[in-house]
Chain A
Amino acid sequence: MKAANANGAETGPTEDFVTVHVDGVLFGLAIERVHDVFVPSGVTPVPLAPPEIVGLLNLRGRVVTALCLRRRLGMAPAAARTEGEATVTDRGMAIGLEQGGETFALIVDGVGEVLKLGADTRESVPINLDARWRDLTTGVHRLEGRLLVILDVDSLLDFGAKDSRGARGAEAA
C-alpha cells in the first residue's frame, strides 16, 4: 500500500492530530474534533442496531453511542476474540467525538501521542484503497517508518439509518 508519488512540498500551517491505532494501523483524528479520551466501561449493547454500533455507555452522566472503528472500517474482528460486543471494548480506548449535539465514543485498540504535522508530509488518499476506506479518509501522512491515515470524523459518523436495513440483515446473518 504505497502512496502514489506526488511530493508537493507545500508550506503551510501545521495541523494537530490525535493518533489512534487499530490492528497496528495508525490513524489520525483532527484534534479539534476530539473531546475526550477515556476507557470505555459498562457498554450496553443495543439489539437490532447497525453492526458498527457497539452499544451505549455512560460518560459522566451523558449517554454516549459507542462506535467500533474496526467494524466501521470493515476490518477483521480482533484475533482470538468472539463477536461478543462487550469483549471488544474490554481492552480498548475510546475517543469522544461530537456531531450534531450528540456525543459518540469511537472505540479503538489504543491511543497514541498527538502529532503536529505540516502539509509537506501529506499525501492524498491512495487510489487503490478499499472504497470504504477512501470514503472515510482525507489523506495520508508519511511518518518515519510508518503511515498515518487521516480519518474524516464527519464521514465516520455518517452511517446508520440509511443503510440500517442492510446492516440489520448483516447482523442477523
Chain B
Amino acid sequence: MDDLLREFLTESAEHLDTVDTELVRFEQDPNNETILRNIFRLVHTIKGTCGFLGLPRLEALAHAAETLMGRFRDGMPVSSASVTLILATLDRLKAILADLEATGSEPTGADSDLIEALEYMAEHGTGAAPAPAVIVPEIVLPEPVSRELKPGEVTLDDLEAAFLAAPGPDEMDFGSVPALPAPEPVKAEAPKAEAKVEAKAEAKPEVHAPVAAAEGETNHNNKVQTIRVNVDTLEHLMTMVSELVLTRNQLLEIARRHEDSAYKVPLQRLSHVTAELQEGVMKTRMQPIGNAWQKLPRVVRDLSAELGKQIELVMQGAETELDRQVLEVIKDPLTHMVRNSADHGLESTAQRVAAGKPARGSIRLSAFHEGGTITIEIADDGKGLDLAAIRRKAVERSLASQADVDRMTDAQVAKFIFHAGFSTAAAVTSVSGRGVGMDVVKTNIETIGGVIDIATQAGKGTVFTIKIPLTLAIVAALIVRAGEQRFALPQVAVLELVRVGANAQPVEYINGSPVLRLRERLLPIVSLTGLLGAEAAAEATGFVVVAQVGRQRFGILVDEVFHTEEIVVKPMSAKLRHIPLFAGNTILGDGAVVLIVDPNGVANQVAQGAQASAGQAEAEAEAADAAEATTTLLVFKGGGGGFKAVPLSLVTRLEEIEGDKVEWLGGRPLIQYRGRLMPLVPADDGIAIKSEGRQALVVFSDGERAMGLVVDEIVDIVEERLDIEIAADRSDLIGSAVLRGRATDIINIAHFLPMAYDDWARGPRKAQKQASTLLLVDDSAFFRDMLSPVLKAAGFHVVTAGSADEAMATLQADQRISVVVTDLDMPGRSGFDLVGAMRHGGERLAGMPVVGLSGSVGAEAVERARTLAITDLVAKFDRSGLVAALGEIGASAEEAETQNGVARAA
C-alpha cells in the first residue's frame, strides 16, 4: 500500500465520520446551507480522490450520494428516508474502505442497489420514492458489473460541471443557486415535488444567506491550521522531553550544590524552556472530547428510529480536551451508556406523554474540567432506575441479602447495575437489556483511574457522572519509601497523610490486621512492604497514606514520604504486567527507576481481606442476634477522646468524686468509698487521675471488693444490638462496635480487675499448681473473645473452638485439655450434642468435666444436662458463676488426683 492510498484512507475515514454527524444535524435543520455545503464538499473530495486513485466502486457510490445531495442543495426537501439512504451509503463506503485498508485493493462487489435507490430518489424526489433499498440497504445484489450508471450518466456529469462552475464556498451566495438550475434532461419528477423545490429554493436565500456566508468564512479560516502528525512521532517527542526534564533536574541538583555558580541564569532559562516544551508536547496529545462523541448523533438517530422514540441528544463541552490515550479508553463506554440511556432510561413516547413530559426525550452529554480531572455527565430525563426492581434482582441473584439491601442507600443500590450480567430490563432488545456492558463500562473507566457514580430520581431521570484523569502520561505522584525502595503513589487517590508510630498516633492490630483510628472511624491499613511480599516491620511507624478508590477508603502504610513530583508514566513491561499492584514505572529526577503503585490494585488487595473480615463480622453479628437481641451498654470517654463502652450489667454504680479525695498508697491511687478503700484504675493509659475538680468513676464490684475505673466522662447509656465489628487482639478490649453511629471500643473488665487486686481472679480459689487447659466452645467469636480473658485470668490455659465438630477434633488432638466450657445453644450441632459425643468418646472424654453455658436455664435444659453428666450450668453472662463453677471442678479434680482415681463428675 503506498503512502498516497494510506493518506487517502485516513482522510476519508475522517471525512465520512464528519459527514455522518453533519447529516444528522442537517436532517434536523434542513435549511442550514453551511452544513449541506460542508457535507457536499466532503463527499465531493472523496469522490474526486477515488477517481484519481482508480477506485471505481467507491467513486460510483460517492457520486450517486453526491447527486442526491446536490438535489438537496437545489432545494429538494430533506426527508428521513433520504438521509437514511445516504447514511447507508456512507456505511457501505466505510466497509469498502475497511476492506481496502486490510487488503490494499478495492473489494469486488456491486452497489447497484444503493446507487439505484439514490438515483431514483434524486430523480423522483423523496416524497414519491418507494425506496425499496432503504429498508434493506445492506443487501448486495448479485450484479455482475459495478458500472450501473447508465440512466444518469450524462446528466450527472453535466450536473458536476454545473457545480464546478458554481462559486466556491467563500464567495458563494446561495441565492444564485436557483438561477443555475441543473440541466437535467430527465424530467420525470412529479410536478408536486418540483413545486416544492422551487418554493424552498425561493424561501432559502432570504433567510439564510448572510449567516451561511459568515459561517463559511470562519470555516475556511479554521481549516489551514492543522497538520497531521504520526502518533509515534509524538510519543517519541514525549520520551525525549521526559529525558530533557530529567537532565534538567540533574543539572539543577548540581547547581544547588554550587552556590556561586555562573550557570545559574542560563540554567534557569533552560528550566523554563523545558517546562514550556513539556507542556507543549503534552498539549499535542490532547484532543477535544468531542472526537469521542462524533459517532453519537448517528447512534442516537438510528436508535430513535429503531426504538420508535423521539430522542434529542444535547452535547455540551465537546471542546473539553483530554489525553488521546484516555479518549480511546472512554470512547466505547460512552457510546454504550448513551445507548443504554436511550433504550432503558427514556420511556416510550406514549409513556412520556402519559406522564406529562415532553414527547421528545432528551439525553444530555456534558464534559468539563474540574481540577486535574475531567467530569463527564450522561443525563437522561427518563423514568429513572427502578430501584425496587434492582433490590429484588440483587437479592435474587444473591449479590446481597435482603437485610443488606434494605439498609442500603439508593446510590448504593443503583451501583448494582455495574455487576456483570445484571439487567432488570423486562425484555431483551437488540439494543440492550442483556445485562452485558455496564460492568465493562465500569472496568474500563476504572482502569484509567476514573470513577463512576449514579444519581437517579424516579420519573425524573438518571445522571451518570464519570470522573477521569486528564492524562495518563504525566501524573502528580507522592514519592514514598517502603523498606529499601522508593515508590510513586498517584496523588489523585491520596486524601491525606497521617504520621503514625510510637510518638504519634499508634496503629492498632486486630487479629494481625492493622487499623488506624481516624476521626472516630476505623481505617483499614495495609503495609506496602507487606503487600510486596517483604516482611513488614514489627512496629508500624512512618506514615499512613489515606487513599480512596471508588467508595473504598483505606490506608497504605509506608516508611517515609519524600515529596510530590510530576512523573511521566511509562507502561510496565509485558513480563510484569500481571502484577496488579503496579500501574507502571517512571524515571525520577535523579535518574532512578521507581515503580508506580496502582491504588486500584491495592484497593483490591485490601478488599479481599476486608471482604473476608466483613463477612466474618456479619456472621458474628448474626450469631449475636440469635443469642440475644440487645445489650445495654454504658458509654464513656476514656483516653484519646475515643468512645468506650462496657456492658451495664457488669457495672455496680457510677460515681463522681472530688479529685482531692484520691489518695496514693504504694504508688497506687485509692479512695475511701463507703467506709472501705477502693483502688482506682484508669480505663486507658492516657488518662491522668485528676487531682482537683470532679472525677468520674465507674464502679465495679464483686462480693466485698470494689474497683473504680477512672474515665474522662460518662457519655451515655445505650441499648443496642451489639454488632462487634472487629474483635480486637488487645486484652483490655473485647472489640469495637458502632453505637449510635460512633465507633466504640468495648472494654474488657477482666483486664482491669486484676490491676486493682492482684488476686482478684485467683483470690477466691485455691492457688493452682499448674494451669490446666480448658476448651471453650462457642459459635460466636464475640463470646469467645469475651470469655477467653476471663478464663485466662482465672488461671486456665484457654483453647477455643467455634463449633461442636471443631471441638471434638480439638479434644481428640489436644490431650492436655482437662475441662470443657461450652455454649449449649449453637447452630447445627448443639452443645448437648457435643457433650453426648464426648460421653461416647473414650474414657478421657467420657469423664471430662463440662460446664454448660446457656442463655436461658430452663427445667428441660437442666434435666438434659443431668443425663449427660454436665457438671454445671451457668447463665451466659454470669462471669463469676462460671469462675466459681470452674473453681469447684478444679477442687474436685485435685481431690480426685490425690485419691489417684478417675472421678466421675457428678
Residues in A lying within 8 Å of B, measured CB to CB: 42, 44-50, 53, 55-58, 60-63, 65, 67, 100, 102, 104, 157, 159-161, 164, 171-172
CA–CA, A161 and B585, complex, Å: 18
The answer to whether the Cβ of B594 comes within 8 Å of any Cβ in the partner chain is yes
Known: A44-B593, A45-B485, A46-B582. A61 touches B575 (CB 8 A): no
Chain B residues positioned under 8 Å from A164 (CB to CB):
578
Whether the Cβ atoms of A161 and B575 lie closer than 8 Å is yes
| A53 lies within 8 A of B576 (CB) | yes
Instruction: Assess A160 versus B578: contact at CB under 8 Å? Given A61-B242, A65-B573.
Output: yes
CB <8 Å contact, A63 and B570: yes
- Residue numbers in A under 8 Å from B246 (CB-CB): 61
Point out the residues of chain B lying under 8 angstroms from A157, CB to CB.
575
From 558 to 605 in chain B, residues with beta carbon under 8 angstroms from any chain A beta carbon are 570, 573-579, 581-582, 585-587, 591-595
**B591, A44: Cβ atoms closer than 8 Å:** no
Please determine whether A48 and B587 come into contact, CB atoms closer than 8 angstroms.
Answer: no
Q: Is B27 part of the binding interface, using a Cβ–Cβ cutoff of 8 Å?
A: no
- Residue B534 at the A interface, CB < 8 A? yes
Contact of B592 among A44, A50, A171 (CB under 8 A): A44
Name 7 extra pairs, CB < 8 A, besides A47-B533, A47-B534: A44-B594, A46-B582, A48-B533, A61-B242, A61-B243, A63-B573, A157-B575
**Count of inter-chain pairs, beta carbons less than 8 A:** 75
Q: Which of B534, B574, B578, B594 contacts A102 (CB 8 A)?
A: B574
Residues from chain B with Cβ under 8 Å of A57 in the complex: 593
Q: How large is the interface on B (under 10, 10 to 19, 20 to 34, 35 or more residues)?
A: 20 to 34
A108 to B573, CA, bound (A): 20
Measured CB to CB, the closest approach of chain A to B357, in angstroms, equals 52
Supply 13 A–B pairs (Cβ within 8 Å), ascending by A. A44-B585, A49-B575, A56-B585, A61-B587, A63-B587, A65-B573, A102-B573, A160-B575, A160-B576, A161-B574, A161-B578, A171-B533, A172-B533
Once the chains are docked, how many angstroms separate the CA of A159 from the CA of B573? 12
Most buried by A among B246, B570, B575, B591: B575
Give min CB distance, A132 to chain B, whole Å: 17
The smallest beta-carbon distance between B484 and chain A, in angstroms, is 9
B402 close to chain A: CB less than 8 A: no
A26 to B349, CA, bound (A): 79
Does A46 lie within 8 Å of B579, measured CB to CB? Answer: yes
**Is A58 a contact of B533 with CB atoms below 8 Å?**
no
A47, B239: Cβ atoms under 8 Å? Answer: no
Which A residues lie within 8 Å of B237 (CB)?
A: none
Q: Which residues of A contact B239 (CB under 8 A)?
A: 61-62
Q: Nearest Cβ distance between residue B485 and chain A, in whole angstroms? A: 7
Interface status of B532 (Cβ within 8 A of chain A): yes
CA–CA, A90 and B62, complex, Å? 66
Contact B577 A161 (CB under 8 A): yes
In whole angstroms, what is the CA distance A57 to B594 when docked? 9
Contacts of B575 in A (CB 8 A): 49-50, 53, 65, 67, 157, 159-161
- Asked if A44 meets B595 with Cβ closer than 8 Å, knowing A61-B246, A63-B570, A63-B587, the reply is yes
Q: Would you give the 0/1 interface string for B228-252, flagging 1 where the beta carbon is closer than 8 Å to chain A?
A: 0000000000011011001000000
Give B589 Cβ to nearest chain A Cβ, in Å: 12
With A53-B575, A65-B576, A164-B578 as contacts: A46 and B592 at CB distance below 8 Å: no
Q: Which residue of B lies closest to A44 (CB)?
A: B593
Q: Which residues of B contact A (CB under 8 A)?
A: 239-240, 242-243, 246, 485, 532-534, 570, 573-579, 581-582, 585-587, 591-595
Give chain B nearest CB distance to A134 CB in angstroms. Answer: 22
- Which residue from chain A places its CB closest to the CB of B239 in the assembled complex? A61
Q: How far is the CA of A97 from the CA of B609 in the complex (A)?
A: 40
B578/A47 in contact, CB under 8 A: no
- State the CA gap A171–B586 with chains docked (Å): 25
Q: How far is the CA of A155 from the CA of B587 in the complex (A)?
A: 29
Known interface pairs A46-B579, A58-B593. Does A100 touch B585 (Cβ–Cβ under 8 Å)?
Answer: no
Is A46 touching B574 in the complex (CB atoms < 8 A)?
no
Chain A residues in 8 Å Cβ range of B579: 46-49
**Chain A, Cβ-Cβ closest to B575:** A160
**Given the complex of chains A and B, what is the CA–CA distance between A150 and B485 in angstroms?**
36
The complex places the Cα of A46 from the Cα of B593 at a distance, in Å, of 10
Pairwise interchain contact B533-A46, C-beta atoms closer than 8 A:
no
Most chain B beta-carbon neighbours within 10 Å: one of A48, A159, A160: A48
> Which A-B residue pairs are the 6 nearest by beta carbons?
A47-B532, A160-B575, A61-B243, A65-B573, A44-B593, A56-B593
Question: What residue of chain B has the Cβ atom nearest to residue A164's Cβ?
Answer: B578
The minimal Cβ–Cβ distance linking B585 to chain A, given in whole angstroms, is: 5
Alpha-carbon distance A67/B581, docked complex (angstroms): 20
In angstroms, Cα B609 to Cα A135, docked, is 40
Q: Whose C-beta in chain B lies nearest to the C-beta of A103?
A: B573
Chain A residues in 8 Å Cβ range of B578: 160-161, 164
- Central interface residue in A53, A63, A161, by most chain B CB within 10 Å: A63
CB distance from B841 to the nearest CB of A (A): 40
Contacts of A104 in B (CB 8 A): 573
Q: CB-CB < 8 A to A56: which residues of B?
A: 573, 585, 593, 595
Nearest B residue (CB) for A55: B593
User: A100-B574, A160-B574, A160-B575 in contact; A58/B534 too (CB < 8 A)?
Assistant: no
Report the minimal beta-carbon distance from A162 to chain B, rounded to whole angstroms: 9
Residues of B within 8 A of A53 (CB): 575-576
Assembled-state Cα–Cα distance A62/B238 (Å): 12
Which of A45, A48, A55, A61 is most buried by chain B, counting CB atoms within 10 A of its CB?
Answer: A61
A65 / chain B contacts, CB cutoff of 8 Å = 573, 575-576
A42 lies within 8 A of B533 (CB): no
For residue B582, which residues in chain A have a CB less than 8 angstroms away from its CB?
Answer: 46
Give the Cβ gap from A17 to chain B, nearest Cβ, in Å. Answer: 25
With the chains together, A93 CA to B239 CA distance in Å? 25
CA distance A46 to B595 in the complex (A): 8
- Whole-angstrom CA separation of A135 from B593 in the bound complex: 32
With CB as the reference atom, state the residue of chain B lying closest to A159: B575
Chain B residue with the shortest CB-CB distance to A101: B574
Among B242, B532, B574, point to the contact of A48 (Cβ < 8 A): B532
Chain A, Cβ-Cβ closest to B247: A61
B575 vs chain A, min Cβ distance (A)? 4
Query: Do residues B585 and A63 form an inter-chain contact, with CB atoms below 8 A?
Result: yes
Expressed in whole angstroms, the Cα–Cα distance for A56 and B594 within the complex equals 8
